[in-house]
């Protein structure tokens, strides 16, 4: 019964998805987006759903929203290639692009670790080395003939496990503290403080990517503390961006 | 006779015409006369001479008497005979004669005085001029220092606004002051006038500078406005206008004590001087915040309108959203208002054009922003109404201009769709259709550090290491500590001996059975207490055990068993059940000793 109910539900999402796709082909982009959004609101998601939403937003010229959904679609293996190509297209259509400050080496390193293998992967790797190290140490206690080999191998392996685990902790901290945001408004001022009357540091335009600091922003519900790709920091209204 | 009558008629006609002309001319003359009185200076020093001019203008100047100068308080007329000058002008065929009588006056008393109307008799009728006000001041009112501070010729930049806001126009007049006796023949601005923080435009209002008489610190100067600039502050705060540098060609009258002054040139000293005005610091107030309105940095008296180039286009085609701003103000500094455009509109970089007039004392003109927009899909689009704020510097507040909403319709176009698809083709921007892979949870949404399996897998190797460590320690003790090894293996050895004793039960050899039990008990106790394996009697063993504070029951059982083992050779032989009972008792004893030793 449970399995049957689950199947019926899944089929309902699929039929809604097909209906929205038909609307998309008829150039009724807004209606299609409404149906896609209702599927997402029900808790279902897929790479195809996000990709089609990105496509629909592209056609109604909401390129910021399009970029947001295409970036989401890029995280699914089945739509990664299509989403990457679509993102290239959308990025080329932005009239303004932010200057990009090259990230520091360790930022690049931890960002790469966050993407692949991610926190989960790092934890698995560190556990593997932890088990191997423990085995080597135990072996060194009972195999007197290979005691030195096992002992040195054990310490090295445990050291690697500790370092990888430390990386996992740092990446997890960064993932929890920082998020990625995409500007969806045409443009918006970036303020020095979370107040409208404070000085405007710069202007963020549609499609700008930014790093969102959740910890700094938690005391200001309507604001986000961000770091633009050009290295500038400031506060921006929450409704002007979408955050992963 | 006939000839005489004709001549008489012609004469009579001419006489009548002359009479008519005379009568008509007289009536016109009465209406045409204009008498104007003026003085050369309105502000004079005591003892200073100035002139009073009476100008009588009209089409005919017949029977005009000399003006009658009335008694003037504080002033004396130096000469009752005026100088006279006459000019005739013909405009549109009408002749106007103007006669000016100039009287020389001298100021005698300080104060404000009125020169009453001067009367003139024209054709037997009295006509009166306007009255004049003259202020007479004393020279000694100023200190000597004040007089010495001002040079003979100097340059000043005079601003018409002292406390402006960003974008407000300021007229900066370049005024040259020079004393009587100095003639300015030429002037030439030089480079180096810095107006950082201002947008600057030269006004084209002055054709030929006119000198006027002014009194500065009790000294009569002549002033001439040479140039005018329009300055627009571009930011708030303290802004500095640097000194204006200028080369001036001037002539001064030679001193009467200079004997050679009249021998050279025209009797005047000609020279060229470089002048520079004093820098000016201006405090520019910030613009207030415009509430609920778009701002475009507009300051002044400006009008604004907005329109679309078409109300109906094909999807994908462009149309123009034209915004025109005109009036007086900071036209070149006005930014394009950021309108809210509906979704689905392609928006291209706007073009702007402006036309500015610099005549007079203001900058006026117009500026047009042309934005190209293109609807991406068919439908009706509405560009929402907007309120645009323009700051009025006179009222010191914002004035809002309401722009109505604009609507246009985009109709489907096959060509546009094809072109759009062609644009997208190279990058394969296409939706995914068919069956999708659905998930209920976001991938890797739960943090790994909050899962149970992570902590289990993390602790497991630690437990294994601790267990291995204990085992290793036991092995080391067994290898290195003989007593510990004996104690550790005592129970196992006892168990082996019990097994041997049970085997002996079937043989019925009581002596051998009890001997084995004796060895088992003694061996277990010596192993556990690290006593010598041989050489100790049962009594000595019991003494050693007693020191360990055994339970009485256990000690009693131990003593009984040892006694029985020692006396079994003298006792009658028992059956197998007795043997097994004693073995069980001995096993129980070993268990108790294991716990208590």
Q: Looking at the domain covering B294-414, what would its CATH class be? A: mainly beta
Helix H or strand E encompassing B132: strand B132-137
How remote is the C-alpha of B194 from its chain's centroid? 23
Closest CA to B336 of B386, B375, B406: B386
For residue B307, the model assigns a pLDDT of 92
Two domains, one topology: B149-284 and B294-414: yes
Please give the Cα distance from B478 to A59 (Å, whole number).
81
Chain A residues with CB inside 8 Å of B336's CB? none
Is A211 near chain B, with CB under 8 Å?
no
Q: For B566-585, what is each residue's pLDDT tens digit? A: 887 676 667 788 888 889 99
Backbone angles phi and psi of B165, in degrees to 5: -115, 160
What pLDDT, on a 0 to 100 scale, did the predictor assign at position A152? 94
Mean pLDDT of B374-390: 86
Q: Which residues of B touch A85 (CB under 8 A)?
A: 427-429
Residue among A66, A105, A40, A60 nearest A207 (CA): A66
- A181-200 residues touching B, CB cutoff 8 A: 186-187, 197
The Cα-based distances of A151 to A135, A142, A164, B217, B508 in angstroms read: 10, 11, 20, 102, 58
Contact residues, chain B, for A47 at CB < 8 Å: 432, 436-437
The alpha carbon of residue A106 is apart from the nearest alpha carbon of chain B, in Å, by 23
Cα separation, B590 vs B595, in Å, equals: 9
**CB contact residues (below 8 A), chain A span 64-103, against chain B:** 75-76, 78-79, 82, 85-86, 88-89, 95
Contact residues for B508 (Cβ-Cβ < 8 A; gap 6+): B573, B576
Separation CA A73–CA A36 (nearest Å) = 13
Quick one: which H or E segment has residue B596? helix B576-596
User: Chain B: residue nearest A188 by CA?
Assistant: B338
Q: On the CB side of A132, how many CA atoms lie within 13 Å of its CA?
A: 16
Q: How many CB pairs under 8 A join A and B?
A: 113
Question: Residue B445 above 80 pLDDT?
Answer: no
Q: Where are the extended beta strands (E) located within B190-315?
A: 198-203, 211-216, 219-233, 237-241, 245-252, 269-276, 280-284, 294-308, 312-314
Interaxial angle between packed helices B538-546 and B510-529, expressed in degrees from 0 to 180 and rounded to the nearest 10: 40
Q: Which chain B residue has the Cα nearest residue A57?
A: B344
Distance between CA B42 and CA B54 in Å, rounded?
A: 15
Out of B377, B429, B440, name the one closest to residue A55 (CB). Answer: B429
d(CA A15, CA B253): 105
Q: What is residue B10's predicted lDDT score, i.e. its pLDDT?
A: 61
Residues of A in contact with B346 (CB under 8 A): 61
Average pLDDT over residues A113-123: 89
Q: Give A 101-130 residues with CB within 8 A of chain B.
A: 118-120, 123, 127, 130
Distance to chain B for A104, nearest Cα, Å: 26
Q: Which residues of A touch B377 (CB under 8 A)?
A: 27, 29, 59-60
Q: Please give the pLDDT value at position B324.
A: 93
DSSP H helices, chain A, are 2-25, 29-41, 47-59, 63-73, 80-93, 105-115, 118-142, 147-177, 214-217
Q: Cβ contacts (< 8 Å) between B447 and chain A: which residues? A: 119, 172, 176
Is residue B444 pLDDT above 60, yes or no?
no
Mutate to test the interface with A, among B318, B416, B438 (most CBs of A within 10 A): B438
Pick the most confident of A128-132, B246-250, B306-310, B419-423: A128-132
List, in order, residues 6 or more apart from B135 with CB less than 8 Å away: B42, B43, B44, B111, B112, B113
Nearest to B278 by CA among B161, B165, B147, B151: B151
Query: For the packed helices B538-546 and B552-567, what is the interaxial angle rounded to 10 degrees?
Result: 180
Q: Across A207-216, B1-10, B350-359, which has the greatest mean pLDDT? A: A207-216
Per-residue confidence (pLDDT) for residue B317, from 0 to 100:
79
Q: Report residue A70's pLDDT band, with 50, 70 and 90 as the boundaries.
A: very high
List CB contacts (< 8 A) between A120 and chain B: 444, 448
Which residues of B fall within a CB distance of 8 Å from A88? 427
Distance CA A53, CA A66 (A): 7
Smallest CA–CA distance, residue B343 to chain A, in Å, is 6
Tell me how far apart the alpha carbons of residues B470 and B466 are, in angstroms, rounded to a whole number. Answer: 6
Point out the residue among A13, A44, A118 whose CB comes nearest to the CB of B444.
A118
Span A130-137, average pLDDT: 95
Q: Say yes or no to pLDDT of B62 above 90.
A: no
**A90-104, A168-182, B272-286: which range is least confident on average?**
A90-104
Angle at A9 between CA A4 and CA A15, to 5 degrees: 125
- Reported as a pLDDT band with limits 50, 70 and 90, residue B361 is confident
Query: Dihedral angle at the C-alpha atoms of B134, B137, B139, B142, nearest 10 degrees?
Result: -130
Q: Which residue of B has its CA nearest to A87?
A: B429
- pLDDT recorded at residue B571: 67
For B510-546, how does the pLDDT look when each residue is reduced to its tens digit (9 = 90+)?
888 888 999 899 999 998 888 887 788 888 888 888 8
Ranges A215-219, B228-232, B306-310, B429-433: which has the least confidence: B429-433
Domain B149-284 has CATH 2.40.30: no
Widest Cα–Cα separation across chain B: 226
C-alpha to C-alpha distance for B369 and B298, rounded to whole angstroms: 14
DSSP secondary structure string, B295-363? EEEEEEEEEEEEEES-SEEETT--EEEEEEEEEEE-GGGPPPP---PPTTEEE---EEEEEEE--TTS-
**For A121, how many CA atoms within 13 A lie in the half-sphere containing its CB?**
8
Distance CA B595, CA B573 (A): 33
* Contact criterion met (CB < 8 Å) for B431 and A21: yes
State which residue of chain B sits closest to A91, comparing Cα positions: B427
Give the total residue count for chain A.
Answer: 244
- Determine, for residues A27 and B377 on separate chains, whether the beta-carbon distance falls below 8 Å: yes
Angle of helix A147-177 versus helix A105-115 axis, rounded to 10: 90
Q: C-alpha dihedral over B151, B153, B155, B156, to 10 degrees?
A: 60
b/e map of B289-325 (b: 16 or more CB within 10 Å)? ebeebbbbebbbebebebebeeeebbbbebbebebeb
Q: Please report residues of B whose CB lies closer than 8 A to that of A62.
A: 343
Nearest to B436 among A48, A61, A142 (CB): A48
Chain B: nearest CA to A138, how far in angstroms? 6
Please tell me which of the candidates A21, A131, A186 has its beta carbon nearest to residue B461.
A131
pLDDT tens per residue, range A78-93: 899 999 989 988 888 8
What's the pLDDT at B76? Answer: 82
- Smallest CA-to-CA distance from B282 within B392, B175, B160, B176 is with B160
pLDDT greater than 50 at residue B87: yes
| B481 vs B527: CA distance, rounded Å | 12
Q: How far is CA B5 from CA B1, B398, B550, in A?
A: 6, 88, 194
Q: How high is the pLDDT of residue B9?
A: 60
Asked if B439 and A138 come within 8 Å (Cβ–Cβ), the reply is no
The answer to whether the CB atoms of B468 and A86 lie below 8 A apart is: no
B429 and A86 in contact by Cβ < 8 A? yes
Q: What is the pLDDT of residues A20-61, one digit of tens each?
A: 999 888 888 889 999 999 999 888 889 999 999 999 998 887
The CATH code for residues B33-140 is: 2.60.40.740
- Packing angle between helix A2-25 and helix A47-59, nearest 10 degrees? 20
Judged by CB atoms closer than 8 Å, whether chains meet at B469 and A47 is answered as: no
Contact between A43 and B440 using a beta-carbon 8 Å cutoff: yes
The pLDDT > 90 percentage for chain B reads 16
- Given a cut of 60, is residue B508 above it in pLDDT? yes
pLDDT on residue B45: 79
Cα end-to-end distance, chain B, whole Å: 196
How many other C-beta atoms can be found within 10 angstroms of the C-beta atom of residue B251? 17
Interface of B with A (CB under 8 A): 289, 338, 341, 343-349, 376-378, 417, 424, 427-433, 435-440, 442-444, 447-449, 454, 457-458, 461-462, 464-465, 468-469, 472
> So what's the pLDDT on residue B209?
79
- pLDDT at residue B72, rounded to an integer: 85
What is the least distance, in Å, from the CA of A223 to any CA of chain B? 21
A14: chain B residues, CB-CB within 8 Å: 435-436, 438
Which residues of chain A are within 8 Å of residue B379 when distances are taken between CB atoms?
Answer: none
CA distance A194 to chain B (A): 18
- Percentage of chain B beyond pLDDT 70 is 85
Q: Cβ separation of A61 and B344 shorter than 8 Å?
A: yes
Note the CATH architecture for domain B480-596.
Up-down Bundle (1.20)
Provide φ and ψ at B41, rounded to 5°.
-135, 135
* Residue from the list B377, B436, B454 with its beta carbon closest to the beta carbon of A60: B377
Neighbours of B1 (CB within 10 A): 5
Mutate one of A74, A95, A134 to test the B interface: name it (highest B CB count within 10 A).
Answer: A134
Residue ranges per domain, chain B? Answer: 1-28, 33-140, 149-284, 294-414, 480-596
Test A82 with B349 for CB contact under 8 angstroms: no
Q: What is the pLDDT of residue B267?
A: 52
Candidates B314, B344, B432, B463: best to mutate against A (most CBs of A within 10 A) is: B432
The mean predicted confidence, pLDDT, of chain B is 81
pLDDT single digits (tens) A219-244: 998 999 999 988 889 999 999 999 98
Give the ipTM of the model, two decimals please.
0.74
């Amino acid at each position: 019964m449970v399995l049957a109910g689950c199947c019926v539900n899944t089929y309902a999402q699929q039929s809604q998805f097909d209906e929205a796709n038909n609307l998309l082909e008829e150039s009724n982009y807004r209606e299609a987006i409404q149906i896609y959004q209702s599927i997402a609101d029900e808790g279902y998601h897929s790479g195809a759903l996000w990709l089609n939403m990105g496509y629909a937003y592209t056609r109604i010229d909401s390129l910021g929203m399009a970029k947001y959904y295409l970036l989401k679609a890029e995280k699914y293996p089945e739509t990664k290639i299509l989403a990457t190509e679509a993102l290239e297209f959308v990025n080329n259509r932005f009239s303004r692009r932010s200057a990009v400050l090259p990230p520091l080496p360790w930022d690049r390193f931890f960002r790469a670790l966050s993407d692949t293998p991610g926190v989960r992967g790092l934890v698995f790797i560190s556990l593997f080395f932890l088990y191997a190290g423990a085995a080597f140490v135990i072996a060194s206690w009972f195999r007197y003939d290979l005691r030195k080999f096992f002992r040195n191998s054990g310490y090295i392996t445990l050291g690697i496990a500790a370092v990888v685990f430390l990386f996992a902790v740092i990446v997890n901290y960064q993932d929890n503290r920082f998020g990625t945001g995409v500007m969806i408004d045409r443009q918006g001022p970036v303020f020095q403080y979370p107040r409208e009357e404070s000085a405007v540091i710069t202007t963020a335009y549609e499609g700008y990517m930014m790093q969102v600091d959740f910890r700094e922003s938690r005391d200001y519900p309507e604001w986000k503390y961000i770091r633009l790709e050009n290295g500038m920091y400031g506060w921006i209204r929450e409704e002007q961006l979408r955050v992963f | 006779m006939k000839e005489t009558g004709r001549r008489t008629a012609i004469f009579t006609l001419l006489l009548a015409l002359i009479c008519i002309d005379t009568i008509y001319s007289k009536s016109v003359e009465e209406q045409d006369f204009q008498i104007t009185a003026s003085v050369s200076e309105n502000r004079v020093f005591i003892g200073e001479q100035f002139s009073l001019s009476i100008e009588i203008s009209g089409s005919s100047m017949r029977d005009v008497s000399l003006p009658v100068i009335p008694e003037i308080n504080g002033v004396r007329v130096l000469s009752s005979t005026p100088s006279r000058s006459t000019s005739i002008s013909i405009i549109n065929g009408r002749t106007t004669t103007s006669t000016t009588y100039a009287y020389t006056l001298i100021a005698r008393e300080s104060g404000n005085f009125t020169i009453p109307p001067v009367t003139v008799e024209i054709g037997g009728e009295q006509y009166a001029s306007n009255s004049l006000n003259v202020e007479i001041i004393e020279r000694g009112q100023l200190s000597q220092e004040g007089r010495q501070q001002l040079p003979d010729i100097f340059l000043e930049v005079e601003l018409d606004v002292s406390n402006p806001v960003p974008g407000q126009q300021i007229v900066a007049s370049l005024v040259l002051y020079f004393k009587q006796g100095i003639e300015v023949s030429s002037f030439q601005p030089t480079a180096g006038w810095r107006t950082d923080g201002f947008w600057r435009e030269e006004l084209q209002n002055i054709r030929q500078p006119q000198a006027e008489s002014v009194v500065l610190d009790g000294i009569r100067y002549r002033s001439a406005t040479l140039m005018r600039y329009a300055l627009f502050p571009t930011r708030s705060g303290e802004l500095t206008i640097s000194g204006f540098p200028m080369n001036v060609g001037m002539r001064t009258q030679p001193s009467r004590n200079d004997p050679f002054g009249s021998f050279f040139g025209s009797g005047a000293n000609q020279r060229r001087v470089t002048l520079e005005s004093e820098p000016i610091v201006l405090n520019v107030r910030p613009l207030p915040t415009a509430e609920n309105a778009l701002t475009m940095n507009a300051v002044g008296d400006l009008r604004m309108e907005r329109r679309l180039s078409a109300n109906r286009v094909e999807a994908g085609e462009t149309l123009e959203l034209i915004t025109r701003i005109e009036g007086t103000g900071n036209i070149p500094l006005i930014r394009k208002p950021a309108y809210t455009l509906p979704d689905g509109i392609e928006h291209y970089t706007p073009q702007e054009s402006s036309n500015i007039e610099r005549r007079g004392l203001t900058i006026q003109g117009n500026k047009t922003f042309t934005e190209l927009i293109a609807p991406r899909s068919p439908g009706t689009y509405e560009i929402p109404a907007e309120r645009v704020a323009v700051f009025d510097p006179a009222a010191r507040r914002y004035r809002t201009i309401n722009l109505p909403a604009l609507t246009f319709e985009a109709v489907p176009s096959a060509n546009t769709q094809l072109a759009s698809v062609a644009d997208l083709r190279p990058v394969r921007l296409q939706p995914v259709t068919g069956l999708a892979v659905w998930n209920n949870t976001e991938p890797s949404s739960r943090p790994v550090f909050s899962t149970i399996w992570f902590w289990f897998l993390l602790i497991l190797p630690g437990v294994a290491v601790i267990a291995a460590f204990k085992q290793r320690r036991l092995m080391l003790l067994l290898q290195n500590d003989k007593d510990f090894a004996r104690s550790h293996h005592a129970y196992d050895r006892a168990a082996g001996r019990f097994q041997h004793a049970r085997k002996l039960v079937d043989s019925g050899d009581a002596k051998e059975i009890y001997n084995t039990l004796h060895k088992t008990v003694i061996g277990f106790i010596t192993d556990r207490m690290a006593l010598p394996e041989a050489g100790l009697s049962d009594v000595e063993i019991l003494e050693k055990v007693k020191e360990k504070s055994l339970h009485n029951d256990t000690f009693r059982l131990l003593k009984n068993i040892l006694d029985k083992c020692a006396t079994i050779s003298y006792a009658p032989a028992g059956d197998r059940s007795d043997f097994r009972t004693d073995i069980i008792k001995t096993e129980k004893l070993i268990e108790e000793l294991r716990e208590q030793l």
